Each structure stands twice: as structure tokens, then as C-alpha cells.
């Protein structure tokens, strides 16, 4: 135990002086070949309340080949502590989304994560199944109790980052609205490694790296309560280093630590622009949102196409194309919602468009401009972004 904690201390001291500077391998005491943490991003949750393109249209403003590591469900000393040692040996900083109940049982391990310089968000008190379906009082209690208990373990509520990951990513508008009202950032992810499934650690490595390679950057979702994750992590970090990836640490803005200045466009990664380039010039007030997750194939399509009927499209003939099982259907005529008129035929089970315009039944659709902020998986287009 001595050596890792000395190493940790060294990393803390080393990182204190170069919070947002480029860290070279030499900055990691005892490991000249360390992966290191290349920079720290300071985020304002009120400005970007929902991130992670597995579910949302925005993600962290990462550059190509930058990765943010996240660990859910802990702390569980048997695996969290070895994972901390692995991260410390590489001077890598991550974000841990802790379960309140676990923090109550293992408060010293919560402190160990914090003292190692990682960010600590929360992941509900009891990790209930179907989080998005919880009654409002239960949902808010799950969120608040976790924050309270992780804060108690740390002895200081301000040490808990205003970051929350919904258990099972089972989002609901009410959950996101509540978190937003509390100034808490809802973290989805950009790709999982399926390490909660009964797979081998080699498969965890494979999923983590292949999905990252497909996107080139992003937030990786892992679990620090799994033996397979512990076994996979050294290989993942070694490969990240070998392939030229850089680790980014994320912390929340405070009055003493202002946010990293970013452009809004940096929060929308290239893959969210989809197969369709942004159209020139906004048609009156309408946008389209996209796209499938290329790393996971067309069946992982999360978001909604909002397209304008053509030719001679009018605002009253906007339809929403809702991807379902790798296909889409014209689900609703927004115009018809506003004024009586013919509802367009449902053209279900058509392949997702790889290019536009799309002809469906007797209608042709072409995309409009910009991403829709639906904040949803597949089915929340009821308030399209009418600017
Ligand atoms: Zn979880």
C-alpha cells in the first residue's frame, strides 16, 4: 500500500502546478512512459446541462483523440482501489459516479478517490431499476440522498461535483428537468464498453477501443465494481497511449475556477452532424436532428430527423421521422398539430436515409438546418426546435 500512495501523492503534487497544461510523460513520477492527463476542462453545468451522444446531441468539447474516462456504481474497495492504483500509475484522472448506498458503506474509499484527484459525481442512492419511471418524490430522494451521502463521506458537500449519471441511463424529462433545476449536469456517455455484461476483459478492451476508434474521441463509460474492468483497464490505458490518445479530466466551474472558454459548436461532435451536411440557411425556424451512432451500427439510432416536405415545402408540412429499429417512420405532421389538415401517410419500416432527399410514399423530404435539441433517445420530438 505504501508505494501506490506515495505515487499518488507525487501525481497530486505534479498535477497541482499544471492544471490545464499539457502534461508530458515525465510529469508522472516513477513512470516516464505514463499516459498522463493532458488537460483539464472546467465546465459550467448550467450552460450545457446534458452531455453524451449515446442520448443527447451534445458532448464534452473534446479535440480529436481526447478521451474522458468515467466509472460508475462504486466505490467497491475490492475493485475501486486497484483501479485507483492503475490510474495513479499512469497519472490519469477520471470521473467517478458513485452510488450513495456504497458511499455510506465505504466512506474511506470515497475519500481515497477524491484524494487521488479524481472528480466525483453521483449515480443515485440505491441505483433503482427503471429510474425514469420512478414517482417524482422517489426520484428526487434518490438524487438528493446520494449527493448528501457522498458529501458526508467526503466531509464536505462542496467536494461533490454537480455531475449525475442516471442509473441504467434510464432518462426521463422529469429527471433531467430536476437535475437542471439543481444546476447539475446530466452525464450520458459517448460509448460504453459493455463491462456490466458477462463478457471477458478482452472483450471489454475490444469494445472500449473499437468504439473509441470509430468516433475518434469521447466519454468512455466503465464500471469500477467489475473485476473484468479492473483487468481490462491497464490494457486500455496502454493502448490509448500507443494509439496517440490523450486523457482529459473534467471538473465543474466554481467562483474560484471559471469555466474553460469554448465555442458552442465544440459541444456538437462531428458524428452528430450525421450523414447530411447542414443545409444552407435556415428555413423558417425548423431544424433537423440526427443521427445514428456509427460505432454501434444503424440500430443504435438515437435521435430524430426533422425534415421538411418537398417540393414547395411550407412550415405546415413538417414531418418528424422517427428512427425505429434501424428504420424510420414518418410519425407526425407538425403542421397538422397546429391546424387541421391531412395527416401524412405513415411510411414505416423504411431504411434509414443515407442521403437526401428521401421519398416516402407520395412524399419527398429534405433536411433543414442545425441539430434539434431534443435531449432524448428516440422519441421526444414533440417540441421541435422552432427558433
Ligand atoms: Zn450504474
Instruction: Tally Cβ neighbours within 10 Å of residue 315.
Output: 14
Distance from residue 123's CA to the centre of ligand 1 (Å): 7
Residue whose C-alpha cell reads 424510420 in the numeric block: 328
Distance from Cα 102 to the centre of ligand 1, integer Å: 12
Domain ends where: 267, 284, 314?
267
Q: How far does residue 120's CA lie from ligand 1's centre (Å)?
A: 14
The pLDDT value recorded for residue 360 is 54
CA of 255 to the centre of ligand 1 (A): 30
Specify the pLDDT at position 221.
97
* Residue 380 lies inside a defined structural domain of this protein: no
Please tell me whether residues 297 and 151 are part of one structural domain: no
Distance from the alpha carbon of residue 129 to the mean position of ligand 1, in angstroms: 9
Q: Does 297 share its domain with 214?
A: no
Distance (angstroms) between ligand 1 centre and the Cα of 81 equals 18
Question: 69 C-alpha vs ligand 1 centroid, how far in Å?
Answer: 15
Among residues 210, 241, 267, the one where a domain terminates is 267
Are 162 and 240 in the same domain? yes
In a domain, 16, yes or no: yes
Look at residue 286 and tell me if it is in a domain: yes
Query: Is 102 within the bounds of a domain?
Result: yes
Tell how far the Cα of 309 is from the centroid of ligand 1, in angstroms. Answer: 41
Give 168 Cα–ligand 1 centroid separation in angstroms: 6
All residue ranges of the chain with pLDDT < 50 are 1-25, 274-327, 329-352, 368-387
If asked whether residues 255 and 332 sit together in one domain, one would say no
Q: Which pLDDT value is given to residue 295?
A: 43
Q: What is the pLDDT of residue 272?
A: 65
Indicate if 260 and 278 belong to the same structural domain. Answer: no
Shortest CA distance to 350 belongs to which of 332, 376, 386, 325? 325
The Å distance, Cα 380 to ligand 1 centre, comes to: 23
112 plus 33 within the same structural domain? yes
Tell me the pTM: 0.69
78 lies in a domain? yes
Contact 107, 74 (CB under 8 A): no
User: Is residue 140 domain-shared with residue 65, that is, in the same domain?
Assistant: yes
Which range of residues forms the domain containing residue 72?
Answer: 2-267
Q: How many domains does the chain have?
A: 2
Asked whether residue 19 falls in the same domain as residue 153, the answer is yes
Q: Domain ends where: 267, 293, 308?
A: 267
The Å distance, Cα 341 to ligand 1 centre, comes to 46
Residues 262, 347, single domain; the answer is no
Strand pairing report for 246-252 and 66-72: parallel
Residues in the chain: 387
Residues 26 and 50 in one domain: yes
Is 382 a domain residue? no
Q: What is the Cα–Cα distance from 32 to 41, expressed in whole angstroms?
A: 24
- Cross-strand partners of 320: 306, 332
Do the domain assignments include residue 131? Answer: yes
Contact 377, 172 (CB under 8 A): no
Is 75 in the same domain as 54? yes
**Cross-strand partners of 51:** 187
Q: What's residue 284's pLDDT?
A: 33
Query: What's the pLDDT score for residue 128?
Result: 94
* Same domain flag for 289 and 171: no
Rounded CA separation 175/144 (Å): 12
Cα of 362 from ligand 1 centre, angstroms: 45
Distance 303 CA to ligand 1 centre (A): 23
Give the CATH number of the domain where residue 14 resides. Answer: 3.20.20.370
Amino acid at each position: 500500500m505504501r508505494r501506490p500512495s506515495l505515487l499518488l501523492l507525487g501525481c497530486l503534487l505534479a498535477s497541482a502546478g499544471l492544471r490545464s497544461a499539457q502534461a508530458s510523460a515525465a510529469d508522472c513520477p516513477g513512470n516516464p512512459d505514463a499516459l498522463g492527463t493532458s488537460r483539464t476542462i472546467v465546465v459550467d453545468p448550467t450552460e450545457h446541462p446534458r452531455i453524451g451522444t449515446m442520448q443527447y446531441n451534445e458532448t464534452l468539447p473534446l479535440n480529436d483523440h481526447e478521451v474522458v474516462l468515467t466509472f460508475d456504481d462504486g466505490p467497491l474497495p475490492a475493485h475501486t482501489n486497484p483501479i485507483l492504483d492503475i490510474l495513479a500509475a499512469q497519472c490519469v484522472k477520471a470521473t467517478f459516479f458513485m452510488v450513495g448506498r456504497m458511499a455510506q458503506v465505504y466512506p474511506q474509499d470515497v475519500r481515497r478517490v477524491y484524494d487521488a484527484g479524481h472528480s466525483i459525481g453521483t449515480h443515485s442512492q440505491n441505483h433503482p431499476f427503471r429510474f425514469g419511471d420512478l414517482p417524482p418524490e422517489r426520484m428526487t430522494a434518490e438524487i438528493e440522498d446520494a449527493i448528501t451521502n457522498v458529501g458526508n463521506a467526503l466531509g464536505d458537500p462542496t467536494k461533490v461535483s454537480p455531475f449525475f449519471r442516471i442509473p441504467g441511463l434510464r432518462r426521463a424529462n422529469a429527471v433531467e428537468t430536476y437535475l437542471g433545476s439543481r444546476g447539475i449536469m446530466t452525464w450520458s456517455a459517448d460509448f460504453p464498453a459493455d463491462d456490466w455484461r458477462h463478457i471477458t476483459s478482452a472483450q471489454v478492451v475490444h469494445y472500449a477501443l473499437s468504439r473509441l476508434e470509430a468516433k475518434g474521441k469521447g466519454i468512455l463509460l466503465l464500471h469500477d465494481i467489475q473485476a473484468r474492468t479492473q483487468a481490462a483497464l491497464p490494457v486500455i490505458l496502454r493502448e490509448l497511449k500507443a494509439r496517440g490518445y490523450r486523457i482529459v479530466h473534467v471538473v465543474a466551474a466554481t467562483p474560484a475556477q471559471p469555466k474553460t472558454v469554448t465555442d458552442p459548436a465544440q459541444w456538437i461532435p462531428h458524428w452528430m452532424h450525421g450523414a447530411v451536411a447542414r443545409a444552407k440557411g435556415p428555413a423558417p425556424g425548423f431544424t433537423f436532428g440526427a443521427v445514428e451512432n456509427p460505432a454501434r451500427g444503424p440500430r443504435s439510432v438515437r435521435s430524430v430527423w426533422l425534415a421538411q416536405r418537398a417540393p414547395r415545402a411550407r412550415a405546415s408540412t413538417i414531418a418528424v421521422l422517427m428512427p425505429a429499429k434501424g428504420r424510420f417512420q414518418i410519425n407526425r405532421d407538425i403542421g397538422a398539430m397546429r391546424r387541421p389538415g391531412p395527416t401524412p401517410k405513415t411510411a414505416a419500416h423504411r431504411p434509414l436515409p443515407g442521403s437526401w432527399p428521401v421519398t416516402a410514399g407520395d412524399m419527398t423530404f429534405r433536411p433543414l438546418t442545425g441539430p434539434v435539441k431534443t435531449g432524448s433517445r428516440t422519441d421526444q420530438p414533440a417540441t421541435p426546435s422552432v427558433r
